[in-house]
Structure 1
Amino acid sequence: MATSTFTETHHHQHSQNRFSVIPTAERLGASPKYNGRGVTIAFLDSGFYPHPDIADRIVAFHDIHGEENRCDAAAEPQPHQWHGTQTVVACAGDGRLSDGIYRGLADQADLVLVKVAQQGRITDDSIEKGLQWVIDNREKYGIRILNISLGGDIDAMTNDSRIDRLAEELVEMGVVVTVAAGNSAETHPIPPANAPSVITVGGYTDQNRFDPNAFDLYHSSFGPTADRIVKPEIIAPAMYVAAPILPRTNDYHVAELLSMLAAAPDYSFRPLVQEYWIEAGLNADVLNMDDEAVRKIVGYGLQRRKVVATHYQHVDGTSFAAPVTASVVAQMLEANPDLLPAAVKNILITTAERIKNSSAIRQGYGVINAKKAVDLAEAEKHHFDPNVHHPPRRNGASLRFSFHDDSARSVNLVGDFNGWDPSGVSLERSSNGFWYATISAEHKTRYRYKFLIDGHRWVEDPPHGMKEEDGFGGFHSILDVN
């Protein structure tokens, strides 16, 4: 593998500071049983640096434009490497530079890094070439997951977007694709985040607190896409996510010095300030202030730079919600390697929990539940082939519906076509573990519908992306019979 590793030579502590954020595993209440071992995750991003938290698990690096032949720690770090490095470490870093505190949930996964920026710029053509490379090399490296924390320039329907078509092809090949929804609540997701089969991830914030009542929505892109598919499917942490500061940069050095000053005992604080105040980015006024005032300024410097530990800062954006989701998927696939992408997606959305009193369309099925998703993945025995689990499928004058819930005792199809009669159309459980029903589709019209589980639990159709808010914090699934 063409990488060289950056080696730490200093001897200072890697401890958190008073502005530290909750580690991802604790924040999500994740399963401690799995760490992504045996799972290969690919990342499509602007560029990468072989950070110590990931360097020894990079099995492949490819620059589609040929600007960089290797992921090289000996070379001068470049600005385009920052974003990709942070997304990978948020997903799969082992926390080496934080004494294991800020590790990703997939800290033992193998990594394939695909650089798509050219002179720092990413075009639709670059994304297409990156996706094609992953398709061509999927088997060679055993890629099971692809994370994409970037987006194209052009909004288009899936059939008109080569980016979307390539993303769909990867899912058909068995690769779970997680995509950042985007960070503008004024726009809907565009390629590849609008591809129907990918897992589009929006964001939420927990205000850096262990309190579900503090959860609030991030300003993610959302809404019906050009294909009228509602995105995102789920939301994951998009604020207060720990990520590395790019090594061998001025920001890295300043964070080291400010962290050292913040941790210094009183007897050595003044001498250290006198020696390092310039390098630490402090004003000369600190030389004439008392120690308490200088400590406040040092603390303000850490807070302003979002430094949460000596070599980490907190970041925000759906660019980080997506790889956090990918890390949960890696745990799911380690727990059950037979899962297909449709099963992974079904498990994630059926175990997610919506933030109460918040817009459903902005959060999809809600906050990712890492522990429940992994537990359900571990127990799942059914094969989610597209032929057995699918959105409503027309066959002549009839429509076939499918549903999956191992815990269900009865499933009824209820909607406009039967006046929302709770007795509805009964689905029958097949030997393959799925529920099915067929209804007449002779009239060209638009229906709203839901499934009623065990006579009391209403759910929308998980694999069917066409939905509208139902006024009760959820969705109606929409069936356009044309």
Structure 2
Amino acid sequence: MSFQSRSITRRRSFRVCALAAGLLASGVALADAHLDPQLLSRMDSALPTDQLQIIVSYEQSGPATATQLDALKLLGIDRGVRMQSLPIVGALATPAEIRALAARDDVASIYFNAPLRYFNKEAREMSGAARTVQNPGDYGRAIPFSGWGVTVLVNDSGVDATHEDLKFGENVVQNVLGPQNILAELAGELVAPGIVPITYLENIPNTDLGSGHGTHCAGTIGGTGERSNGLYRGVAPGADLVGYGSGAVILVLDAVGGLDYAATHQFSFDSPIRVTSNSWGSSGKFDPLNPVNIATYELYKRGIVSVFAAGNDGPGEDTHNPYAQAPWVISVGAGEKDGVLTGFSSRGKRGEIGDFTMPDGSQWTYINEPTVVATGVDIVSTRDTAGSLHLLADDSSLDPAHQPFYSHMSGTSMATPHVSGIVALMLEANPNLTPAQVKDILQRTATNMTGRLPWEAGAGHANAYAAVAEAAGLRDDHGGTVNALREFNANAILVPGSSQPFSFDFSPVGETGKQQFTVGDKAAWVSVRATIGENTLALVLTDPDGVRYGSAIALPVLGDTVTTGAPAKPGVWTVSARGIGSVSGTGLDPLGVTNGYGLPGTVSGEISLINSGGYTGMGDVASHPARSAIEYAVGNRLVDGHSDHQFRPDAVLKRSELAEYLVMGASIRQWLPFSGNSSFSDIGPGHAAYPFAESAVARGAALRDLGQSQAGVMGTVNGAFRPNDKVTRISLAYSLVQSLALQSEAQAFSGELTAFYDGKRIPVEDAGSIPASLRGYAQLALDLGLINARFTVTQGPFDLEPTLHAWFDPSLGVTRAAYAVAAGRYMAHYQSAED
């Protein structure tokens, strides 16, 4: 999503949507400003004189003005700190002062100054890996799965096996220092000519001599958590690890050397090497004959699973690590801890698919898209105290006792070892799985991510809990709910459009080059791509309305190809370039007098368009008032049409359809009972709605429910699912709010049900017809903008002004068109964290 200037209406809508965490958890009715639930809770329990730590954010780009600071003092708020460049002030204030401040039009939000958490634990919870390890009884076992019997090779910068979590001779069964830039070493030594075998230094306690990257990855896979009493243990703490260190700078031959070590020493340890974790890559097109791809193919034939990072060059199209595109490897994108795809995670290319033949004559098809996504932002894992990357991290939020031993990093590099650990759990459950079967299970058990298509997120978010069950043979029928693996009745048609080259000169100071181009009304998507070379530049697309879409920065050590894209708008567009603006959060040009740090030079690349060919499968919506909302929802896989190519927009939505659409587009975990029995008295495995219904009613259904403890996003009636019952507005409010994992906020509501209109809260007239247990869901659905209230106006013959009335209409049936509108709003709210 992009930043745009907001009208007054947009501004009010933003304030409502910003109440995602449960504005009215305490029942306090406040003005426009967004107050977070934790602050409201503390205000409820505070004495009138208590000074609470608050963070005030203003609705502007620059820092708080003198006028705003004077206003704080007038309210009695006279102790705090202001940011130099950001519109943020930290202060101490009483509950009354906070309420007064919230009434100001220029205040966007007020938050409690809560401690932050950057935990690997959260990543394990989101994927279900923690639930897998902590609940052996779910799998009919007495001993938890832990990765026991599986060895994982960490092909990276090395591993510091002096760390108690990664102890050499215990869970790190071998630590290898690979040759550093093999060919350069040979060229620099006076040795006899000849083709010499690659050699390694084994039994080295610490091989991570440069960055600390490999140590961090190793801890995510199989760290024991000994230094944190288990808090920061890895996904598979029972797995054996082999560290292979190529140093802080890795070349292709160095990486291939690590893969070669895995093949050579597959059976050298008590448990065979079954997995290699590879958090490295490059840019460019997939080439099956690249030496890295050939190496991973050979490991594939030996039963070794290769897991690769998708890359950190997102969000543009066609930024996917070419080594991750091989059909025999697992490519991992990175998500946030709130279930959204992170901006830096590399994407594949829409519709790119190709057939090829390997040297052994085997036929293959590759698809340019990630396999799955795992959490990769602010991951806490083991720290190599000598690692240079840790010098850039702010670990002040960690317990001081943990800071010497753990640090946080972000990247698909951090998501990759997480999936490597999941694979170890799966192979413990079934050592006979082939690499192809492992990949298939990961895809079939994945969780659809709201509004994300396969070229962006593959099959969706990894679901370790279901994947291990499938690996163990408890189920064999996952996959029916995965968007990437099914056929849809309604589809957006996209066809390749025109392309053209661009070229301009970049200047770091003063006027810099750019190129304009025109986009017609048939285009659906605009993308630009350039190979920057030895420079630190990003591409910037600017649409006709001035909205900017930026690529990742090209860095020589990470990749020199950058790309970005945006939804098409007819009119004149501009492509330009920017240099680096900051390093580790420190601005290089705080006054904004340059075009960013970079070298002057020519930037050349290609502009590509994808055209819209219309939609299929919904021939009855052409003249419907909700046509655009329905098309938007179909294009983002939030809804689907019927098999007879009709959408039936005015038909009332059935519960079976709601279950399907929630699992398709609301980030609902896929789940089937491990017992093989149905949870319902009226539908079973043969019913089309069955897999969606099971997922919708399951405990912990919402991806954002990290503890997987909240109730399902739908319920049952006396043990029956009742798939043909209509969906009412109140039941939809429950489902959408529950899908956001806001159960506690909704259930804590106890105030008057109100609807927000024109800066005021209007009491809902029919609140009494809503069960008390569901009023919080109705309030949040209204405040988040997921469902509209209905407003009426009355005015008596002698009234000076009309009276506005608000209605929720809880028992009114939801039409399929109305759901498409609500689903689009849900998606906008869900993905707002990506801004």
The TM-score, its normalising length taken from structure 1, stands at: 0.60
1:18–1:308 CA contact under 8 A, matched in 2? no
**Equivalent in the alignment of 2:376:** 238
**Equivalent in the alignment of 1:57:** 171
Q: How many residues align?
A: 335
**Equivalent in the alignment of 1:106:** 236
Task: Write out aligned runs for 1:34-45 (5 A).
Answer: 34-45=145-156
State the Cα distance separating 1:168 from its structure 2 match. Answer: 1.6
State the Cα distance separating 1:321 from its structure 2 match. Answer: 0.5
**Equivalent in the alignment of 1:21:** 118
Task: Write out aligned runs for 1:440-459 (5 A).
Answer: 456=688
1:150–1:180 CA contact under 8 A, matched in 2? yes
Task: Write out aligned runs for 1:64-463 (5 A).
Answer: 64-65=178-179, 69-70=201-202, 72-73=204-205, 78-80=209-211, 82-117=212-247, 120-141=248-269, 142-152=272-282, 155-158=285-288, 160-185=289-314, 186=316, 187-207=318-338, 215-224=340-349, 227=354, 229-247=367-385, 302-303=396-397, 309-310=402-403, 311-379=405-473, 405=477, 456=688
SS at match of 1:165: helix
SS at match of 1:355: coil
Q: Could you give the per-residue CA deviations for residues 179-219 of structure 1, whole angstroms, max 9, x where no partner exists?
A: 11001113432342121110100011024xxxxxx534342
State the Cα distance separating 1:406 from its structure 2 match. Answer: 7.4
Question: Which runs of 5 or more structure 2 residues have no equivalent in the other structure?
Answer: 1-113, 134-143, 182-199, 355-365, 491-615, 618-641, 645-684, 692-822, 825-835
1:249–1:156 Cα change, 3 Å: closer
- 1:182 maps to a residue whose letter is G
Larger relative contact order (CA 8 Å, sep ≥ 6): 1
1:123–1:153 CA contact under 8 A, matched in 2? no
1:183–1:34 Cα change, 3 Å: same
1:216–1:131 Cα change, 3 Å: closer
2:320–2:348 CA contact under 8 A, matched in 1? yes
Q: State the alpha-carbon separation in 2 of the partners of residues 243 and 314 from structure 1.
A: 6
2:146–2:425 CA contact under 8 A, matched in 1? yes
SS at match of 2:155: strand
State the Cα distance separating 1:407 from its structure 2 match. Answer: 9.2
Question: Which runs of 5 or more structure 1 residues have no equivalent in the other structure?
Answer: 1-16, 208-213, 256-299, 382-403, 424-452, 460-471, 474-482
Q: Could you give the per-residue CA deviations for residues 306-341 of structure 1, whole angstroms, max 9, x where no partner exists?
A: 989433222210001111001111111111112111
> Taking every aligned residue pair, what percent have the same amino acid on both sides?
27
Q: State the alpha-carbon separation in 2 of the partners of residues 254 and 193 from structure 1.
A: 27
Q: State the alpha-carbon separation in 1 of the partners of residues 453 and 241 from structure 2.
A: 36
1:91–1:326 CA contact under 8 A, matched in 2? yes
Q: State the alpha-carbon separation in 2 of the partners of residues 412 and 359 from structure 1.
A: 12
State the Cα distance separating 1:252 from its structure 2 match. Answer: 8.4
1:378–1:101 Cα change, 3 Å: same
Q: State the alpha-carbon separation in 2 of the partners of residues 222 and 356 from structure 1.
A: 16
1:205–1:218 CA contact under 8 A, matched in 2? no
1:19–1:307 CA contact under 8 A, matched in 2? no
The TM-score, its normalising length taken from structure 2, stands at: 0.36
1:73–1:168 Cα change, 3 Å: closer
- 1:199 maps to a residue whose letter is I
State the Cα distance separating 1:102 from its structure 2 match. Answer: 0.5
- 2:434 maps to a residue whose letter is L
SS at match of 1:42: strand
State the Cα distance separating 1:140 from its structure 2 match. Answer: 2.7
1:49–1:72 CA contact under 8 A, matched in 2? no
2:353–2:368 CA contact under 8 A, matched in 1? no
2:174–2:203 CA contact under 8 A, matched in 1? no
Q: State the alpha-carbon separation in 2 of the partners of residues 234 and 72 from structure 1.
A: 34
Cα RMSD of the aligned pairs, angstroms, is: 4.0
